[in-house]
Amino acid sequence: MLNIPVIRWGKPYDSLEIDDVLHFATGEPIAKVSQANAGIIARDLRQVSKARDTLRQIPCSEIIEILKKAADLYESATLPIGDGTQTPEEFAHQQSASTGLPEHMCRHNMSKNSFVLRNMNQILDCLTRGLDLNILTRGYGIEHRGVVLSYQAQASALSAVLPSNSPGVHTLWLPAIPLQMGLVLKPGPQEPWTPYRMMAAFTEAGIPKEVFAMYPGGPEAGAAVLNASERAMIFGGTPTVERYKGNPRVQAHGPGFSKILLGDDCVDDWEKYLDLMVESIYINSGRGCINCSGIWASRHTKEIAQAIAEKIGPIEAKPPTDPEAGLAAFTVPGMGKAVWGMIEADLKEAGVTDMTAQYGERLVEQERCSYLRPMVVHCNAPEREIAKKEYMFPFSTVVECPEDQMLAKIGPTLVCTGITNNQRLIDKLTDATHIDRLNIGPIPTSRLNWLQPHEGSIIDFLFRSRAYQVTEEAQAAL
Amino acid sequence: MSPAESSAADIESLQKAAKDKLDAHAYEMIQWHFHESTGSPFWLEKKSGLNFDPLKDIKCYDDIKKFPLFEDEWLRGGPINRWVPKGLAGKPVYVFETGGTTGIPKSRMVIEDHWRDYENFSDTLPEKYFPKGANWLMLGPSGPRRLRLAVEHLCQYRGGICFCIDLDPRWVVKLIKKGWMEHLEEYKKHCIDQVLTILSAGHDIKCMFATPKLLEGLCNALEEQGKTFKDTGITGIFSGGTEFTPQWTRFCVEEFFGGPPEESGIYMTPTYGNTLMGLACSKPVTAEDGYKISYYAPQPRAVTEVVSFEDPNEVVGYGETGRVKLTTLTNELFVPGFLERDEGEREKPFATYPWDGVSGVRPFHETASATTVGVY
């Protein structure tokens, strides 16, 4: 069994408090993870400026090249972890065993992370709108138009309080290192795997280990990371997002409530979009904030819901090692049952129809875990309570709503796919401030273009564009 | 003789002597609390509802199990005078409160128990690090709290003068419940600022009480000023609470103090207590023992047992986990079997404390998520 230490600016630290990471199906311990107390975090983070100082010794362009090597290592190499090693196969197996995600999805997430590392050059080029990265290093410089500009770093490291249930979120913090920011991670209790493997890949590829800090621990550790960090990401539910709203030091990532809107001009051809609707709901076991949880149209909604239900309703829970497994397990005891209880309550409302009911029981309880089989629920109006819900399994409502009322009623939406050629509707979607990522045309909500920012640009989060004036002589020398 | 040198036979004999003393004390206290001339109105009234006669049927400590478990809700609301034993009538009475962030707090009347408890505790403090005559700093709650007056008495008993800060723990709990974490941080800073001011005023303070969170806050504040805890001149610290974990102790000793007492000159002792009990002392905490913290109640005045989660009258085996059950037996207060909000592992007796102890104290797992740990 692996023993995974706290990492304090590259140095392993074995805590006296240990948490067992258990196999969700057997209950067997997979790893013993040292737990960081809050005091350690606060104390270490007083030294955070050293991380940026260290990374600023390596040009961004060089780090980007190192990351390409790290991508290969992350995806293919046997890497050190704690007091042992880990092959890519072991990684997928361990991540699946503790999070409940099928192994083939874990492997897919590995490829996704590697892709981002490998293409960091283009990603940063797009996120910075073509900025010379040396300007970020130095804090000021001159761009090709001959204008002096300054991007002032607002932190020396990016911190992230990570979830256990969604291994896909890790791509969001990967740009920190090439932006010459240290990394401070509080891994999710069931998902230490990606942060530690990523750190191993980075350091094996040549990034100095002293720019990394890993603080596994309980809620107190998460609070300490947020409290002591100049810039931090946190992943959680709606209350978490509300709590940090307006706090410039914290970027809170919550539920996505991602949706597909079918315009009146396209809705009669809904069958053409059936596969993209199914993919948006079902891919990655519906766990991501980018998975679709609501399809909105003015007509044909019952037929749409029925057709999706026919595709995903019969899907069964399969063992995580099965290459055909499409559903992730709920590994927290009682969670599946509790979620099902909430859904059952909402299904009692008039105008709400469970279109997947005919495909058998949705809640599948096993000895140490539970599954919820995919659900499609029809709502005859946007006012139905269940139309505002999102769950951590393939779940979507199909909501009947006149096109001219959709934008007023959809609520906050992380990814919106607007299937329409109606320029008036496209303009309204473009202007809607409660939509974050907008796809115009038949693009699955789950299909992200990595060259686009996600929930706010990380550049704007970590740097501040500000005035910087120098004399003409000094400008000429830049 | 050191604990390590004590043979099993010695321990057994000490254990028997302690048990005999406890049995005699338990009998005496029951006679006191249930006799018409000395008992409190509360217990004399309860007596009429019992299906046994405490004066005749309670002959030793184990007989106390005949009482139903003590419900701390009984302490909520008045009149407080019903708790004053007739035998102590006319003496000046203090009232100490617990809880009270919202609603009526639980109140315990005290006459001199807090003095006796802390005088006994005083005898356990090493003179080298807690010198007699030294001035103290009380970095803990103010207001109607036992701790504030008890620490001051401890200091005075040892010949010193105690400096205190203003700290309202009910406001701290409210801030946490409201999620006003920035306000919480500011309030913590407000407390630490008071401490830094006192420490900078040349009062020659050498000893302190501090809750783990506030001690950590003080050490951080000092480090931010480019100083260390050692620069304060404080050599003896007593602290307490379920947050006083082995890992936290190790962190403090290794990183804030600069090593164990022999190297750093700073000695910290954990304690476990509350308004109902006196103060349970700890077996010396060492790196060799993994910074394990084992508490021993001040028998015979108070007894802690580690009992089964299912049956509070069944003590678990040594090393096994159970809920902490408290029995208080002073002439001011009788508490027969109160289930604490904490759990831990049962520890074996040793020479200094030849009775059961409890280690790994932490919030009881069934109520832990609902417990708001404030500053102490």
Which pLDDT score is estimated for A37? Answer: 96
> What is the DSSP code string of B94-118?
EEEEE--SSSPPEEEEESSHHHHHH
Classify residue A330 by its DSSP letter.
B
According to DSSP, the residues that pair with B325 across neighbouring strands are B305, B339
Asked if B179 is an interface residue toward chain A (Cβ–Cβ < 8 A), one would say: yes
Nearest to A6, CA basis, from A319, A153, A215: A215
State which amino acid sits at residue A261. L
Confirm if A5 and A12 have CB atoms less than 8 A apart. Answer: yes
Pair (A125, A97) in one structural domain: yes
Distance from CA of A13 to the nearest CA of B (A): 11
Q: Which residues of chain B have pLDDT under 70?
A: 1-6, 367-376
Interface-testing mutation among B239, B248, B253, with chain A (most A C-beta atoms within 10 A): B248
Pair (A139, A217) in one structural domain: yes
Of A15, A35, A42, the CB nearest to B220: A42
Domain that holds residue A27: 2-254+457-466
At residue A181's C-alpha, the angle toward residues A175 and A185, to 5°, is 80
Query: Distance between CA B77 and CA B80 in Å, rounded?
Result: 7
Residues of chain A positioned with their CB less than 8 A from the CB of B220: 39, 42-43, 46
CB contact under 8 A, A42 and B216: yes
Tokens 């050629």 locate to: A421
Q: Is residue A245 part of a domain?
A: yes
Classify residue A23 by its DSSP letter.
-
Nearest to A347, CA basis, from A335, A358, A355, A336: A355
Pair (A427, A300) in one structural domain: yes
Peptide bond into A80 cis (omega under 30): no
Residues of chain A positioned with their CB less than 8 A from the CB of B216: 38-39, 42
Pair (A40, A89) in one structural domain: yes
Domain count, chain A: 2
What is the phi-psi region of residue A10: left when phi exceeds 0, alpha when psi lies from -120 to 50, beta otherwise?
left
Of B223, B224, B250, the CB nearest to A16: B250
Residues of chain A positioned with their CB less than 8 A from the CB of B290: 16
Residues of chain B positioned with their CB less than 8 A from the CB of A216: none
Confirm if B203 and B197 have CB atoms less than 8 A apart. Answer: no
Pair (A329, A403) in one structural domain: yes
Q: CA separation (Å) from A275 to A78, A271, A446?
A: 38, 8, 13
CATH T-level topology, domain B3-370: Rossmann fold (3.40.50)
Pair (A264, A224) in one structural domain: no
Number of H helices, E strands in chain B: 10, 13
CB contact under 8 A, B181 and A16: no
Distance from CA of B294 to the nearest CA of A (A): 15
Closest residue in chain A to residue B373, using alpha carbons only: A220
Could you tell me where the DSSP H helices lie in A290-370?
301-312, 335-347
Residues 6+ apart with CB under 8 A from A339: A330, A372, A391, A392, A393
Residues of chain A positioned with their CB less than 8 A from the CB of B252: 39
Q: Which residues of chain A have pLDDT under 70?
A: 167
DSSP H or E run through A183: strand A182-186
Confirm if A226 and A161 have CB atoms less than 8 A apart. Answer: yes
Nearest to A286, CA basis, from A247, A315, A252, A253: A315
Residues 221-240 of B with CB under 8 A from A: 223-224
Q: Give ipTM to 2 decimals.
A: 0.85
The tokens describing B223, both together, are 């480090």
Query: Distance between CA B98 and CA A20 in Å, rounded?
Result: 35
The tokens describing B305, both together, are 């047992």
**C-alpha distance across the termini of chain A, in Å:** 55
Residues of chain B positioned with their CB less than 8 A from the CB of A37: 245, 247-248, 251
Instruction: Considering only CA atoms, give the Rg of chain A.
Output: 23
Q: CB neighbours (10 Å) of residue B153?
A: 19
The tokens describing A85, both together, are 């090693």
Which pLDDT score is estimated for B7? Answer: 79
Q: Is residue A451 part of a domain?
A: no
- Treating both helix axes as pointing N-terminal to C-terminal, what angle do A88-99 and A103-118 enclose, rounded to 10 degrees? 120
Q: Is residue A365 part of a domain?
A: yes
Query: Distance between CA A293 and CA A314 in Å, rounded?
Result: 19
Q: Is residue A273 part of a domain?
A: yes
Asked if B53 is an interface residue toward chain A (Cβ–Cβ < 8 A), one would say: no
Query: Distance between CA A125 and CA A121 in Å, rounded?
Result: 6
Residues of chain A positioned with their CB less than 8 A from the CB of B246: 16-17
Pair (A280, A227) in one structural domain: no
Domain containing residue A330: CATH number: 3.40.309.10
Residues of chain A positioned with their CB less than 8 A from the CB of B251: 37, 39-40
Query: Distance between CA B154 and CA B120 in Å, rounded?
Result: 9
The tokens describing B317, both together, are 């085996």
Pair (A211, A283) in one structural domain: no
State which amino acid sits at residue B300. P
Domain containing residue A203: CATH number: 3.40.605.10
Within a 13 Å sphere around the CA of A348, how many CA atoms are in the beta-carbon half? 5
The tokens describing B350, both together, are 């040793």
Which pLDDT score is estimated for A454? Answer: 83
Confirm if B150 and B271 have CB atoms less than 8 A apart. Answer: no
Query: Helix, strand or coil for residue B80?
Result: helix
Query: Distance between CA B327 and CA B26 in Å, rounded?
Result: 10
Q: Is B133 exposed, middle or buried (0-12, 13-18, 19+ CB in 10 A)?
A: exposed
Q: What are the residue ranges spanned by the domains of chain B?
A: 3-370
**Beta strand pairing call for A157-161 and A232-235:** parallel
Of B185, B224, B245, the CB nearest to A227: B185
Which pLDDT score is estimated for A241? Answer: 84
Residues of chain A positioned with their CB less than 8 A from the CB of B223: 43, 46
- Dihedral of alpha carbons A188, A192, A196, A197, sign: negative
CB contact under 8 A, B216 and A243: no
Nearest to A152, CA basis, from A453, A460, A454, A475: A460
Interface-testing mutation among B184, B188, B227, B251, with chain A (most A C-beta atoms within 10 A): B251
Strand intervals (E) in A215-369: 232-235, 250-253, 258-262, 292-297, 352-354, 363-365
Closest residue in chain B to residue A47, using alpha carbons only: B224
Nearest to B264, CA basis, from B231, B293, B221, B238: B231
Q: Is A245 exposed, middle or buried (0-12, 13-18, 19+ CB in 10 A)?
A: exposed
Pair (A44, A114) in one structural domain: yes
Pair (A239, A321) in one structural domain: no
Pair (A201, A241) in one structural domain: yes
Pair (A63, A50) in one structural domain: yes
Q: CA separation (Å) from A284 to A13, A279, B71, B214, B259?
A: 34, 9, 51, 45, 50
Of B181, B251, B291, the CB nearest to A39: B251
